[in-house]
Structure 1
Amino acid sequence: MRTMTAVAAAASAAPTPAPTPPALPAFGPRLATGLVGVLLASLTAGLNEHVTEVALMDVRGALSIGHDEGTWPTALYEGTNVAAMAFAPWCSVTFSLRRFTIGAVLVFAFLGFLCPFAPDVGTLYGLRTLQGLAGGSLPPMLMTVALRYLPANIKIYGLAGYALTATFGPSLGTPLAALWTDYVGWPMVFWQVVPLCLISVIAIGWGLPQDPLRLERFKTFNWIGLLTGFPAIVMLVIALEQGDRLDWLNSQLICALLGGGGMLLLLFLVNEWSHPLPFFKLQMLARRNFSHSLITLAGVLVVFLGVIVIPSEYLAEVRGYRPLETAPLALIVALPQLVALPLTAAILNIERVDCRWVLAIGLAMVATSCALASFVTAEWVRENFYLLQMLQIMGQPMAVIPLLMLATTGLPPVEGPWASAMFNTTKGFAAALGTGIVEGVGTIREHYHSEMLVDRLGTLGQPDGREAGALTELAERIHTQAIVLTSSDLYLMMAAIGFGLILLIPILPTRIYPPRPAAPAKP
C-alpha cells in the first residue's frame, strides 16, 4: 500500500510534458473560412483607428468637451494599438491562436458598443485605450495564420490579403465614418465594428483548428521586456500623435514622453537581444531582406498616410470640403485594391519575375504621383487629384507585397511569431510617425510661407478705414496660399522619401523566388 502511494505521489510530482501541437490540417473550404474571418477582423480594426477624428465635432457636442480633450481618444487608442502588436504573437502561441483571436475580437466589439454610452470624457478615454489594446492584437494574427496555414504555392495571396490592412483599411475608414456621421448618427461610427466582428468570430470559430494551451511558457515569461517595451511604445506613439498640438519640445509633457519612452525603448532592445524567449528576435535583423523590408515598410507607410492626409487637409482648408466630400479621393484608391492586390500577387507568383523590380516600379509610381501633386494650386478641386490617385492604385500594392515576400520567404515556422511582432509593430509605429511628420513639417512650412508672404506684401501699405474689408480678404488669401505652398512642400517630401527608398533596392535585398511546395523525398 505504501509503495503504491509513493508511486502515485511521484507520478503527481513529475512535470507534465508540454503538449505537442497537432499536425497542420489540409487546406480546404473550412480553413479558408477561418482565414477570411481573421482578415475581416483585422480590416475591422483598421476601420476603427481614426473614427473619433472624423466624428470629433459630434462627440465633443455629446460629451461637452473641448477640442484639445477631444484629440486624446485617438492618441490613447493609437498608443495601446501599436504596443499590443508587439506582444500579441506571444499570447497567440501561449493561449492558442483561435482562442486568443476570438477573445480579442469579442472584447474589441464589446468596447466599441460601449463607447457611445460613455457618461464623461474620462470613461471614453478608458474605453478607447482598452479597445486599442484589443484592436492592435488582430493584425499580427492575420500574418501568423497566413504564414502558418496557407500552402506554399498560394501563400503570396495570403500576404496580399494582409496587405489590405495597409492599403485598403486606412483609406476606407474615413469615408465610412463620414457617411455614418452625416446620415445615420455619430454612435454608428463606433457601432460599425460590431456586426463585422460577430461575423468574423463565427468564421474563426468554425474554420481555424484549436491548438492546446501552453501555459508553461509563463515560467520563462519576459517580464522585463513587457515592463519596458509596452510603456515605451505607448509613450512614443502618444508623443507623435500629440506633438504638433502641444508644440513639440516646447511642451514638458512631450519632452517627458519622448525622453522616457526613448530610454525605456533602449532598455527593451538591450533586454530582447539576450533574453532566451524575447518578444523581438533582433538577431533576425542580420538578414538583409528582413531588415530592408522593415526600413522600406516604415517609409512606404509614411508616404501612404501623406497621400491620404495632404489632399484632405488641402480641400478642407482651401475649398471648405466636409469629410464626406473628400471621401471619393480615398475610395478611388481603396476599392480597386480588391483587384489590384490579387493581380499583383499573381504577377509576383511567377518565378521569372524579380520582386525587387516590382518593388522599384511600385515605389516609382507612388513617388511620381506625389511629385506631380506638388504642382497643386489654389484653383485645384477634388477632380484634379483623381488622375494622381490612379497611380496609387497599382503603386501601393506593388510597393507592399514585395516587402512581405522579402520578409517572410524562407522564414522557419518557429520564427513566424517574432517576424509578425516586429513587422506589425513597425507598421503601426510608422503610421504614428507619419502623422507626426506630416503635422509637424506642415505647421513649420505653413508658418514659414505665411511670414514670407506677409513680408512681400508689406510694401503695399495698410489700407485706410474705407478698405478695412480688404484686410480680411488679404489675410484669407495669404492663408490660402500658405496652405497651397505647404501642401506642395509635403508632396515633395513624400516624393523624396519614395525615390530615396528606391536607392536601397540595389544595396540591401537579395533575389528571392516565390514560395513553392517542398519536393517529395526520393525513395
Structure 2
Amino acid sequence: MVYFMINVSFIQMKKSILIITVITAAMMELIDTSIVNVALSHMSGNLGATLEDTSWVITAYAIANIIIIPMTSFLATKLGRRNYYIGSIIAFTFFSAMCGLAPNIWTLVAFRFLQGMGGGALLSVSQAIVFEVYGKEKSGIASALFGVGVFLGPTIGPTLGGFITENYSWPWIFYINIPIGIAVTVSSLLLVTEPAVKVEPKAVDWWGILLLVIGIGSLQTVLERGETDDWFSANYIIALTATAIFSILMFIWWELTIPNPVIDLRVLKSKSLAVAAILTFVTGVGLFTSVFLTPVLAQRVLGFPPTMTGLTLLPGAILAIFGLLFSATLLKKGVSPLIIIFTGFILFIMFSYKMAGFNLESTPGNLARTLIFRALGLAFLTVPLTALAVSGLEAKDVPQGAALNNMMRQLGGSFGIAIINTYVAHRFGSHRNDLISNISVYNPQATQRVNGLTQYFAGKGASSFDAQHKAMAVIDNGINRQSFLMSYLDAYIFVGLLFLLSMPLLVLVLNRKKQAGPVVLVSDH
C-alpha cells in the first residue's frame, strides 16, 4: 500500500514537472514576442538603425511564427513529436544567443526570424502535451492554465525587458533564454514522450507553404517600408504589392483545391469559425500593437525609464490571471462565449479611449491603471474566442480550426505592428506640420517663447547666433515630442475603432446555442 502511494505520488510529481516544463517553454516563446519592445530605442541607437527598421526585430519573429504554426502537425508526425519539440527548443535557444551577438540590425532580424521558426513548436506542441496530461474530463483546467501562459507571455515581456535593458544591456534580453532553454531541454529529454495515438504523416503541401511565405513576406515588406519609401513611387513597392496579391489569391485557390492543404480553408464554411477568426485577428492587433506602442510612448515621449515602463504593465498582467480563470469558469457554467467576448471588447475600447486622453504630464500610475482595462479585456477574449471558433466544427476539423484561429492571432499582431508603424509615421508628419505652422513672427506667444529662450542661453554665455540657434532647437524638440504624443494617441484611437467596428460581427452568430464549457485554445497536433 505504501509502495502504491509512493508510486502514485512519483507519477503525479513527474506530471507536474512536465506541465511546468512545457508551459515554461511556451511562455519563453511568447515572452520573446514582446521582450524586445522596451529595448527598441537602445537597439536602434546601438546598431545605427532607424526605429522603423528596428521594428523588423518584432515583425520577423511574428512572421516566422505564422509560417511554422500550420506546419507543426506535419513536422511533429514526420520527425516524431519528441524529436521535433526538443529540436525546436535547442534551435530557439541557439538563435537566441546569436541574436545577442548580432553585429548589425539585419543580421539581428535574420536570427530573430530563425528564432521564431524554432519557437513555433513551443506553443502548439506544449499545449497538446498539457491537454494530453489533463485529459478530456479536465479540459477546462487545462484551457485556463495554458491561457495564463498565452496571455502572460507577451504581457510580462516588457517588464522583464525593461529591467534587463536598464540594469544590463539589450543583448541580455536574448541571453536570458540560454539557461532557461538548457533547463527546459534537459527536462524535456527526461519527461516528454511520443503521443499515445500515432498519426501517419500526410504529404506536405510545399506549394501552399511557398505561396504563404511569399504572400505574407511581400505584404509585410510593403506595410513596413511603404511609408519610408513614399509608397508606390518606389518600383519595388509596386512589384511586391503585385506579388503579394497574386501569391495570396493563388494560395487561397490552391488550398481549396488540393486534398491535404497546409491550411484547410474549407473549415471556414463554419460561420462561427469565420467570425471567430476575424475577431481573433482583431484581438491579435490589439494585443501586440498595445504592447508595442505603450513602451515606446512611455520612454520616448513621457520619459519613463525602461524598468518603470515594464512595471506599468505588471498590475494588469496579475489581474489578467484572474480574468482568464473567471472567463473559463463562466464558460464551464454554460455562459455564452458571446457575452464574455462582448465584455472583453468593451473593456479594450475603454482602454483605447482612456489612452487617447493622455498628455505630457501623465504619470506611471496613470498608465498602470489604464493598462488594467487592456489586460482584463484581452483576458476575457482569449479562451471564449477559441470556444466560439470550434463550436460549429465536427470533431475531425477541431484541430485545423483551432490552428487556423491561433494563426490569425499571430497574423493580426504582425500586420497590426506594421500598419501602426506606418500610421504613426504619417500622423507624426501631419501633426508636426500643423504645429510648425504656428511658429512665426505673427504669433506673439511663439515670438515671446523664442525671445525668452534666446535671452536665457545668452545669459549662460552663448553668442547671439548660438543662443538663437539653441532656442530654436528647444522649440523643435518640444514640437517633435508633442507630435509623437499626438500620433501615438491617434494610434490608440485607431485600434479602438477597429475593435468597435468589429463588434457587429457577433450578431452573425447570435443564434448559436450556449456552449457547454471551455475547449482547447490551440491544438495543432
TM over 0.5: yes
On the 8 A contact 2:333/2:516 being kept in 1, the answer is yes
Decide whether the 8 Å contact of 1:82 with 1:425 is kept in 2: yes
- Deviations 1:447-501 (CA, angstroms, capped at 9, x unpaired): 2222222334444178488563543343333333323332332222222222223
Aligned pair 1:494/2:495, yes or no? Answer: yes
Of the three residues 317, 324, 333, the one matched with 1:350 is: 333
Which of 506, 510, 513 pairs up with 2:515? 513
Q: Is the 8 A contact 2:356 2:493 kept in 1?
A: yes
Which of 256, 260, 264 aligns to 1:273? It is: 256
Q: Counterpart of 1:503 in structure 2: which amino acid?
A: P
- Counterparts in 2 of 1:178 and 1:358: CA distance versus 1, 3 Å: same
Amino acid at match of 2:400: W
Q: Residue 114 of structure 2 is aligned with which of 130, 137, 160? A: 130
Structure 1 match to 2:348: 366
Q: Is the 8 A contact 1:409 1:514 kept in 2?
A: no
Aligned mates of 1:119, 1:310 — CA distance in 2: 26
Q: Distance in 2 between matches of 1:46 and 1:386?
A: 21
- What SS does the corresponding residue of 1:487 show, helix, strand or coil? helix
Query: Between the two proteins, what is the percent identity of the paired residues?
Result: 19
Q: Does 1:157 align with 2:141?
A: yes
- Contact 1:340 1:394 (8 Å CA) reproduced: yes
2:287 is the counterpart of 1:304? yes
Letter of the 1:471 counterpart: M
TM-superposition CA deviations, 1:150-185 (whole Å, max 9, x none):
433432333334434553111222221222222234
The separation in 2 between residues aligned to 1:239 and 1:229, in whole angstroms, is 15
1:90 aligns with 2:91: no
* 1:404-443 correspondence to structure 2 within 5 Å: 404-409=386-391, 411-412=393-394, 414-443=396-425
- The letter of the residue matching 2:171 is P
**Counterpart amino acid of residue 364 in structure 2:** R
Contact 1:156 1:405 in 2 (8 A): no
**Aligned partners of 1:129, 1:269: CA distance in 2, in Å?**
24
CA separation in 1, counterparts of 2:148 and 2:219?
Answer: 26
Q: Partner residue of 1:108? A: 92
Structure 2: distance between partners of 1:160 and 1:298: 21
Q: What are the Cα deviations for residues 6-57 of structure 1, in whole angstroms up to 9, with x where unaligned?
A: xxxxxxxxxxxxxxxxxxxxx9665554444332212111222355554456
- Measured after TM superposition, the shift of residue 295 of structure 1 is 0.4
Which letter does structure 1 place at the counterpart of 2:285?
A: V
1:448 to 430, 433, 439: 430
The Cα of 1:355 is off from its aligned counterpart by 1.8
What are the equivalent positions in structure 2 for 1:118-517 lying under 5 Å apart? 118=102, 124-145=108-129, 150-164=134-148, 166-211=150-195, 217=201, 220-351=203-334, 353-409=335-391, 411-412=393-394, 414-458=396-440, 459-460=442-443, 463=447, 468=468, 469-508=470-509, 510-515=512-517
Retained in 1: the 8 A contact 2:216–2:244? yes
The alpha carbon displacement at 1:134 in A equals 0.8
SS of residue matched to 1:506: helix
Residues in 2 aligned to 1:122 and 1:367: alpha-carbon distance in whole angstroms: 36
- What SS is found at the alignment partner of 2:507? coil
**Structure 2, unaligned stretches of length 5 or more?**
1-10, 456-467, 520-525
- Cα distance, 1:159–1:252 mapped onto 2, change above 3 Å: farther
Name the stretch that deviates more: 82-91 or 202-211. Answer: 202-211
* Partners of 1:424 and 1:185 in 2: CA distance: 33
What is the RMSD of the two structures over their aligned residues, measured on CA atoms? Answer: 3.2
Unaligned runs of 5+ in 1: 1-26, 518-523
CA distance in 2, matches of 1:57, 1:373: 21
Offset at residue 411 of structure 1 (A) = 4.8
Change (3 A) 1:379 1:516: closer
1:293-321 superposed Cα distances (whole Å, 9 cap, x missing partner): 11001112212234333333332233322
Contact 1:108–1:135 (Cα < 8 Å) also in 2? yes
Cα deviation digits, residues 51-87 of structure 1 (max 9, x gap): 555445665787x654477555444333323211222
Q: Counterparts in 2 of 1:43-62, with a 5 A limit? A: 43-52=27-36, 54-55=38-39
Q: More deviation in 199-208 or 90-99?
A: 199-208
How far does residue 338 in structure 1 lie from its aligned partner after superposition? 3.1
Compared CA separation, residues 347 and 390, structure 1 to 2 (3 A): same
Output the CA distance in 1 between the equivalents of 2:488 and 2:37.
Answer: 20
Whether the aligned pair in 2 keeps the contact of 1:249 and 1:255 (CA below 8 Å) is: yes
Letter in 2 for 1:385: L
**In the aligned structure 1, how far is the partner of 2:93 from the partner of 2:127?**
21
> What's the counterpart of residue 13 of structure 1?
none
Structure 2 CA distance for aligned equivalents of residues 123 and 497 of structure 1: 34
Q: Which moved more, 1:201-210 or 1:481-490?
A: 201-210
